[in-house]
Amino acid sequence: MGYVATNPNPKNRLVGDCVIRAISLVSDKAWDDVFLELMLKAYDMKDLPSANNVWGAYLKDQGYKRHIIPDTCPDCFTIKDFVREHPKGTYILATGTHVVAVKNGRYFDTWESGNEIPLYYWQKED
């Protein structure tokens, strides 16, 4: 359980592609394939691929459902807490500025983002 350092970006870049990285990691698709699919969705929606509504629509098309995290403790529930409470399943967590892949009790990112505060998540429906 816990953090796994990983970067599916083919050029090992670290900035601006967290949505693509997260989707790639949970879907077992190549970064390039996710990039192209998101670009097509963005083109259809006339918005940027990193826009929440674009990648959200993409995930919905892929069988994910969005859930809001209750704000009973908005500053104390972290990605680490989410992972402990969700040891099984496939999720994509969104903070105000970042997106993280979570799969079966582990979170995958290019940096240790476990203390970030998630606002909502997408869960893969069976």
Q: What whole-number distance in Å separates Cα of residue 25 and Cα of residue 19?
A: 10
3-class state of residue 98 by DSSP? coil
Q: In the Cβ-directed half-sphere of 116, how many Cα atoms lie within 13 Å?
A: 19
Residues 6+ away with beta carbon under 8 Å from 97: none
Would you kindly state where each structural domain of the chain is located, as residue ranges? 2-124
**Where residue 14 falls among pLDDT bands split at 50, 70, 90?**
confident
Residue 74 banded pLDDT, cuts 50, 70, 90 = low
Q: Mean pLDDT across the chain, nearest whole number? A: 94
Whether the model clears a pTM of 0.75, i.e. scores above it, the answer is yes
Q: Which amino acid is at 113?
A: S
The pLDDT of residue 83 is 97
Instruction: Judge whether residue 122 has pLDDT over 70.
Output: yes
